[in-house]
Amino acid sequence: MNMKLAVLDRIYRIYDDFSGGLDMACKKYCAQCCTPNVTMTTLEACRIVNHMISNGRSDLLENVQARRAEKRFKPQTTTNRLADLCRKGDDPPEEAVNYLNGSCPLLTDNLCPIYPVRPFGCRCFVSKHDCRKEGYSEVDPFVITVNTLFMQFVEHIDATGFSGNFADVLLLLASKERRNNYQMNTLKHPGPGFIPNLQITVLMIPPEHRIKIKPLLDALMGIKAP
């Protein structure tokens, strides 16, 4: 588990180095993108819960619990499952297209209280212009390809785990018993709203981005387990 968490941190660092060089409007206190619709993997949730516990902020889980009944986006598939369906020529399941309004249950005074360990779904939400003024984000097509590539790796390293809505996965691993089961690879399918992760079977990189993305792909492939 520690090895997987170290690899996850390495993936985050490589992405942060990449996104740090982008021309973005994103800045502190800009939080329009902090909605209840973020998704993440069980490994990412484990990282967040460990961080909350070691920083004495387990109370944050109560905020998530208090808003458990609220509507939020619940994915029907994962990035690697989608890639695999495309590879086989099968149709993907229909996802909800009307995203729900509202804020992430952790957002406090327009700041993220778990910023250093926020999941990749938050990390990769970037925009060239201020979404608050325009009402939508603007993302370069190459950045979308990079984001998809990183999502594939984040899922790949947690292939024995699950993906789902941020709040659902966080509350799943808020339980010490389920965290232990997850770490021992004995966590059973938690039920509706959770999708088993899948290893990468094919990368979703369009031909026009294959050369440009190679340094990032090499960096991901070059991650060594500590």
What is the contact surface with ligand SF4 in residues (CB under 6 A)? 25-26, 30, 32-34, 38, 104, 106-107, 112, 114, 118, 122, 125-127, 130-131, 137
Q: Which CB atom, from 126 or from 157, has the smaller least distance to ligand SF4?
A: 126
**Residue that the structure tokens 């999502």 belong to:** 151
Q: Which CB atom, from 25 or from 219, has the smaller least distance to ligand SF4?
A: 25
DSSP string, the chain: -HHHHHHHHHHHHHHHHHHHTS-----TT--TT--TT-EEEHHHHHHHHHHHHHTT-TTHHHHHHHTTTS-----SS-HHHHHHHHHHTPPPPPPP-S---S--TT-BTTB-TTGGG--HHHHT---SS-HHHHSS----HHHHHHHHHHHHHHHHTTTTSEEEEHHHHHHHTTSHHHHHHHHTT-PPP--TTEEE----SS----GGGTTTTHHHHHHHHTPPP-
Q: Residue 92 CB, nearest distance to ligand SF4 (Å)?
A: 24
Q: Residue 163 CB, nearest distance to ligand SF4 (Å)?
A: 15
Nearest to 75 by CA among 43, 37, 48, 106: 37
Q: Residue 12 CB, nearest distance to ligand SF4 (Å)?
A: 13
φ/ψ (deg, to 5) at 162: -135, 165
Q: Which CB atom, from 106 or from 187, has the smaller least distance to ligand SF4?
A: 106
Q: Residue 106 CB, nearest distance to ligand SF4 (Å)?
A: 4
Q: Residue 124 CB, nearest distance to ligand SF4 (Å)?
A: 10
Q: Which CB atom, from 137 or from 160, has the smaller least distance to ligand SF4?
A: 137
Q: Which CB atom, from 63 or from 183, has the smaller least distance to ligand SF4?
A: 63
Q: Residue 192 CB, nearest distance to ligand SF4 (Å)?
A: 22
Radius of gyration of the chain (CA): 17
Q: Which CB atom, from 107 or from 216, has the smaller least distance to ligand SF4?
A: 107
